[in-house]
Amino acid sequence: MEFNTALLHESFSGNTQTGATVEAIYQTSAFACESAEQLERIFNNKANGYAYSRIGNPTVSSFEARIAALENGIGAVACSSGSAAVALSLMNILASGDEIISCTGLYGGTIDLFSDLSAFGISTRYVDNATPEQIEPLITDKTKAIFAEVIGNPRLNVTDVGTLSAFAHSKGIPLIIDSTTATPYIIKPIEYGADIVVHSSSKYINGGGNSISRVIIDSGNFRWDGAKYPALAEYERFGKFAHLAKLRNGLWRNIGCCLSPMNAFMNSVGLETLGLRMERCCKNALELAEFLENKNTDLKVNYPGLKSSPYYSLTQDILGGVGGAILTLRMGTKERAFKLINSLKYPLIASNIGDVRTLVIHPANTLFAHSSEKAKAAAGVYDDTVRVSVGIEDIEDLKQDFSEALGG
Ligand SMILES: *Cc1c(COP(=O)(O)O)cnc(C)c1O
């Protein structure tokens, strides 16, 4: 199956009980059983079935199965938000004293979260670029995970997932990849050796900007050694499902950050048009980036698909030449950045990405308001930066709008 066909027919072909062509919304807290014995079996993982929606719900399971299949994973766990999933994917394997290595070009909320984890004895060390050369000197016997974004939001740095995973595995460390800005339309990180993939499905997967959610997908390929990862020792008997089994039976259900059935439904519906939307958004983004770069000498355009980007050749090599749907502009001054944002007619001034609508924001004073100047610069965020999440509007309208907002 090719990508767009798989979005519609992989792991789902309608509701088999009723013939409904889309998944039903099981908007229920609990599921009644035929007998006390049956509920006992379900509670003890001795029978398939549902008991309580914090632990499992058919609408949520259907979404999990579809995204896991698309990413070539062995399973997925959906969460109420992206931030919760990032925390859980790490807390599931780490213990106090452990270290994470990550890249400065990360989503601001993830950097904030990593600093919260330090209260629990989990520290993060950062490199400017997630390359073996920069990471190697920071590795200690406490390094238990490497975390990176495929296309950093908002620095738009591209990670060479294949090289990084080969390096991580040579050190016996799993690679966790946040693929929110890339989506499986551009790259399936598991094919390049990533062990765990996380998505803020609030963004491109949902596509309509109507539900907050996140999903963790496991490749099943990493062998969790109980001596090095004591948290997983009692789950080693689950083999390749060890990590997922621990997540489902432990932290995820106990913390209770389950995805609501309604939001899972919205994501499943959104997922079906992911290919078409990404094709359009990414094409628009490249065209807008080229237009702005050629037309204006007084602003700087950052987009991985531009020949002027330091990530251009990596984008050709591992992203099939598709640089995603986000670009950032450096306007020279904060005043010019604000003026552009305020003058645009179509783009909404909003903090998310991955909507069908074009969105703009001044990240320095919003998403990165709590970060130090050093952290902002390392994340590619300056006082004059505008981030544009390009939507599916007609490109001629977007070009004209930017042109007029920039003064003709
Ligand atoms: C939005 C985003 C998150 C956080 O996800 P939420 O769904 O907002 O909690 C994490 N990583 C990246 C790259 C994001 O863009």
Phi, psi for 219 (deg, rounded to 5): -75, -25
DSSP-derived secondary structure for 226-285: TTT-GGGGGGGGGGGGHHHHHHHHTHHHHHT-BPPHHHHHHHHHHHTTHHHHHHHHHHHH
Q: What is the pLDDT of residues 110-140, one digit of tens each?
A: 988 999 999 999 999 999 999 999 999 999 9
Q: What is the pLDDT of residues 331-389, one digit of tens each?
A: 999 999 999 999 999 999 999 999 999 999 999 999 998 889 999 999 999 999 999 99
* 145 within 8 A of 173, measured Cβ to Cβ: yes
CA of 201 to the centre of ligand 1 (A): 8
For the segment 223-245, the average pLDDT, to the nearest whole number, is: 94
Place of tokens 């909507």: 355
CA of 234 to the centre of ligand 1 (A): 31
Residue 341 tokens read as 């944002």
Residue 196 tokens read as 């765990």
The dihedral built from the CA positions of residue 194, 151, 94 and 133, taken in this order, carries a sign that is positive
Pocket mutation for ligand 1, best pick of 196, 203, 215 (most atoms within 8 Å of C-beta):
203
Distance CA 405, CA 407 (A): 5
| Closest C-alpha residue for ligand 1 atom 12 | 107
Residue 32 tokens read as 């009644």
* 267 within 8 A of 211, measured Cβ to Cβ: yes
Distance CA 173, CA 221 (A): 12
Distance CA 61, CA 78 (A): 8
H or E stretch including 389? Answer: strand 385-389
| Closest C-alpha residue for ligand 1 atom 9 | 82
Q: What is the pLDDT of residues 15-24, one digit of tens each?
A: 778 889 998 9
For the segment 178-189, the average pLDDT, to the nearest whole number, is: 98
pLDDT band at 192 (very low <50, low <70, confident <90, very high): very high
Q: What is the pLDDT of residues 25-40, one digit of tens each?
A: 999 999 999 999 999 9
User: Hey, what domains does the chain have and what are their CATH numbers?
Assistant: 3-270 (3.40.640.10), 275-405 (3.90.1150.10)
pLDDT band at 251 (very low <50, low <70, confident <90, very high): confident
Helical H segments across 256-380, by residue range = 261-271, 274-295, 312-318, 334-343, 373-378
Strand ranges of the sheet holding 300-302, from the earlier edge strand across to the other edge: 300-302, 326-330, 385-389, 359-361, 348-349
The lowest-confidence range among 63-72, 79-88, 316-325, 371-380 is: 79-88
Which residues make Cβ contacts (< 8 Å) with residue 33, sequence separation at least 6? 39, 42, 49, 51
> Looking at residue 30, what is its pLDDT?
97
Place of tokens 């359009």: 280
> Looking at residue 373, what is its pLDDT?
92
Strand 359-361 to 385-389 pairing: antiparallel
Q: Is the shortest distance between the CB of 82 and ligand 1 below 6 Å? A: yes
Q: What is the average pLDDT value for the chain, to the nearest integer?
A: 94
| Closest C-alpha residue for ligand 1 atom 6 | 82
Residue 102 tokens read as 């990550």
DSSP-derived secondary structure for 139-176: --TTEEEEEEESB-TTT--B--HHHHHHHHHHTT--EE
Map residue 135 onto helix, strand or coil: helix
* Residues linked to residue 101 through DSSP beta bridges, in sequence order: 125, 146
